[in-house]
Structure 1
C-alpha cells in the first residue's frame, strides 16, 4: 500500500478539473490513499493564528470554497481525503484547536516553516542563514517540534527536518543527534505520525525528509509513518516513492498509517 497525504492546489484553482489532474497522477503512480492538504495560511479563517507580511500577501482563499470542492468530489465518488497543512504557531494552541475542530478533516498536518520571524524554507529569507547562529536556529526549530507533538493537535508532522533545506547543517553530530532524540521522544508520546517526504529531493538539500538517523529513531520509538510527496504540481504526486519506500524498509518499517475522518488504520507498506 502507498499513501500520498501531502499535496497542494495553490498553483492552480480550487476546482474539480484541477483536482482531477492530481487524482489521475495518483492513480498512475498506484497511490492507494490520497489527500489534499492546502496551506492553512492561504485561508481568511486563519488570520488570527499566523499573520506576517509574507503570509498576509498570500491569504486569498475561503474555507467554504475548499470544503465545497471536497463535497463535490465525494458526490462524484472521488476518493480524496480532505486535510490542511497548518503552520504550527507557538502560543496559538487555542486558535489552532478551534480552527481544526471547525472542519471535518480526515487528518491534519502540522509543519514548522517559521522560527520567530525567520521563514526558514523561503528563498526570500535565505540570506538570513548566514546572519544567524546555526545551533540557535536548530534548537529553536526542534523546540517547536517538541511543543507541536505535545499539543497533540496534529495527525502528521510535515517534513520533520525541513530546517536542513538549504544545506545549513551543524557539523557537531552529537548536537544534531540530541535534537533528533528529544524530538522523537516527544513524538512517541503523542498521536503524531511522521511523513517520509520526497519533496527534499526537489529542494537544494537533494535528500529525503527525514534524515535516515532521525527516521531510525522514529522506528525505534514506535512512531508510525506515512509517505508523502508534498506535490505542488500534479506531476510530482508520488514522485520518487521508490526511494522513500526503500528508506522505510531499511530502518525496519513494514506498515503505513492511514486516516479517515480522524480514524486511523495501519496498512502494509509496499
Structure 2
C-alpha cells in the first residue's frame, strides 16, 4: 500500500491547488492512500485569521473537514482519502487545540514545532545572533518541545523533526546529541511516529527531514516511521517516496505506518 500523509492546499494561504488536485495527483502517482493535512487555524489568537499566509481562518476549519469527507466518499474504491491535519505544538495553547480538534473525526493529527522562543524555525537570521552555547540551547529547546509534543497524547505523527536545518544546514552540526537522543527515546516510549518528510529538498538544506543519523537513532529507540511529502503543490505528491523506502531498508527499518481512524496500520517496506 503506497501512501502520502502530508499535503496542503489553497486554504493555508501558501500552497497551490485544491484538495481534489492533490487527490488526483495521488492517483497519478499510484498511491492507494492520500492524507490531506492542512495547517490548523491559530486557535490561540483572538483574530479570525491571525496569519492569512500561513494558516486557514477559524471559520474555514469546518468547511475543510466537510470537503475532505465529501471527497473521501466520492473517491471510495479508487483511493483512500484520509482526513488529517497539521497542528502547531504550542504548550500554552495545547489544551485549547486538543479540545477544538477533538470535535472532528480526524484519521490522524500531525504535531509540528514551527517556533522556538517566538521565532520561526525557518528563520536563518536567528543563528547569527547566537553564541555557540546559545545555539546549543536553542537546538535543545527545540527537541524538548518535540519531546513534550510526543508526551501530550495529541498526535499520531510528529512532523519534520529536524526542520530547523531547512534554511540553516549547519543546524545538524550543533552538538546537542543528548537532547536529540532523549527526544527520540520519549517518542518511542509514547508510541508516536515520525515522518520522513521530503520537503527539505525545497529548502537550503536540500535533503529530507530527518537526517539519516537521526533515523538510525530513531530505529534504536523503536520509533515508528511514516511518509509525507509535505506537498504545497500537487506535483510534489509522493515525491521521492521510493528512494525513501530504499534508504529506510538500508538503515534497518522493515516497515512504515499510516493511520486510519487513529489506528496505526503497518505496511512492509
User: Could you tell me how far 1:10 is from its partner in structure 2?
Assistant: 2.8
Q: Which stretches in structure 2 are left out of the alignment for 5+ residues?
A: none
Aligned to 1:245: 245
**Residues 108 and 170 (structure 1), Cα distance of their counterparts in 2 relative to 1, 3 Å cut:** closer
SS in 1 for 2:214: helix
Instruction: Give the TM-score taking structure 2 as reference length.
Output: 0.87
Partner of 1:256: 256
Matched-pair contact (CA < 8 Å) for 1:49–1:96: no
1:161 match = 162
Q: 1:92 to 1:49 in 2, by over 3 A?
A: farther
Residue equivalent to 2:66? 68
Contact 1:50 1:89 in 2 (8 A): no
CA distance in 1, matches of 2:100, 2:32: 28
Q: 8 Å contact 2:36–2:68 — kept in the other structure?
A: no
Shift of residue 226 of structure 1?
A: 0.7
1:202 matches 2:198: no
Contact persistence 1:129–1:168 (CA under 8 A): no
Determine the C-alpha separation between the residues in 1 that align with 2:53 and 2:258.
34
Give secondary structure in 1 for the equivalent of 2:34: strand
Runs of 4+ in structure 1 over 6 Å off: none
Which residue of structure 1 lines up, in the alignment, with residue 125 of structure 2?
Answer: 127
Number of residue pairs the alignment of both structures matches: 256
Task: Kindly provide the CA deviation profile for residues 83-103 of structure 1, in whole angstroms up to 9, marking residues without a partner as x.
Answer: 110010013231121022111
Task: Decide whether aligned partners of structure 1 residues 202 and 227 sit closer, same or farther in structure 2, where only a CA change above 3 A counts.
Answer: same
- Name the residue aligned to 1:2: 2
| 1:48 alignment partner in structure 2 | 44
Q: Secondary structure at the match of 1:196?
A: strand
Q: Find the residue that maps to 2:69 and give its secondary structure.
A: helix
- After TM superposition, the structure 1 = structure 2 runs for residues 46-125 of structure 1, keeping only pairs within 5 Å, are 46-48=42-44, 55=51, 58=54, 59-60=56-57, 62-78=60-76, 79-121=80-122, 125=123
Instruction: Give how far 1:265 is off.
Output: 1.6
Aligned pair in 2 of structure 1 residues 119, 197: CA closer, same or farther (>3 Å)? same
Please report the TM-score for the alignment, with normalisation by the length of structure 1: 0.87
> Could you report, residue by residue, the CA deviation over 1:61-107 in whole angstroms, capped at 9, with x for unpaired residues?
52121111023213313421011100100132311210221110000
The answer to whether the 8 Å contact 2:75/2:81 transfers is no
Deviation track 1:205-258 (CA, whole Å, cap 9, x = no partner) reads 001111111111111222111111000000000111232112211111121212
- Deviation for aligned residue 1:56: 6.3
Q: Is the 8 A contact 1:152 1:191 kept in 2?
A: no
Shift of 1:148: 0.7
Deviation at 1:168, TM superposition (A): 3.2
- Structure 1: state its 5+ residue gaps: none
Partners of 2:248 and 2:165 lie apart in 1 by: 20
Q: CA deviation at 1:129?
A: 2.4
Question: Does the aligned pair in 2 maintain the 1:50–1:87 contact within 8 Å?
Answer: no
Displacement of 1:50 after TM fit? Answer: 9.4
Distance (Å, rounded) in 1 between the aligned partners of 2:27 and 2:180: 35
Could you tell me which residue of structure 2 aligns to residue 19 of structure 1? Answer: 19
- The CA RMSD over aligned residues, in Å, is 2.3
